[in-house]
């Protein structure tokens, strides 16, 4: 009986490498590990030595997943900037309000006002 590999010597290239499958699964469950601000833990997958070991399909799968992660990271970064901007605006508005409308005790010349 002849093996599939002997019929098609490149058939092994159509199967997903176990390491690539593991990295793709990790990208799915822990995308923050692949953010631009994360550690260099996974940077080895970009090294030429390992890229040469991957098929074009595997490279494409990793590239597509990285793009998806980076797009999510971009959205999160924009939201963080917007939130920080809103906090800053809110703080400025509160300070402006305090200047325009001081506490009743300040208006009365001192003393603590209690509200019952």
18 located within any domain = yes
Residue 54 belongs to a domain: yes
Q: What integer pLDDT is reported at residue 43 of this predicted model?
A: 82
- Residue 34, judged by CB atoms within 10 A of its CB (0-12, 13-18, 19+), counts as buried
Angstrom distances, CA of residue 34 to CA of 8, 59, 76, 80, 98? 36, 16, 14, 18, 44
Structural domain for 100, as ranges: 4-107
pLDDT in tens, the chain (116 residues): 444 444 444 444 568 999 999 999 999 999 888 887 666 788 888 788 888 899 999 999 999 999 999 899 899 889 888 887 777 666 666 766 666 666 655 555 555 555 44
Number of domains comprising the chain: 1
Residue at 32 is within a domain: yes
Q: Residue 34: inside a domain, yes or no?
A: yes
Is residue 114 included in any domain, yes or no?
A: no
The pLDDT score that the predictor gives to residue 98 is: 65
């Amino acid at each position: 009986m002849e093996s599939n590999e002997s019929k098609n010597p490149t058939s092994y290239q159509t199967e997903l490498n176990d390491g690539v499958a593991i990295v793709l699964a990790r990208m799915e469950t822990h995308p923050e590990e692949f953010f631009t601000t994360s550690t260099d833990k996974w940077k080895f997958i970009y090294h030429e030595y390992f890229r040469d070991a991957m098929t074009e399909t595997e490279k494409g799968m990793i590239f597509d997943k990285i793009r998806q992660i980076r797009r999510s990271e971009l959205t999160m970064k924009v939201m963080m900037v917007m939130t920080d901007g809103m906090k800053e605006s809110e703080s400025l508005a509160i300070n402006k309000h305090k200047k325009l409308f001081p506490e009743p005790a300040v208006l009365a010349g001192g003393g603590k006002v209690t509200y019952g």
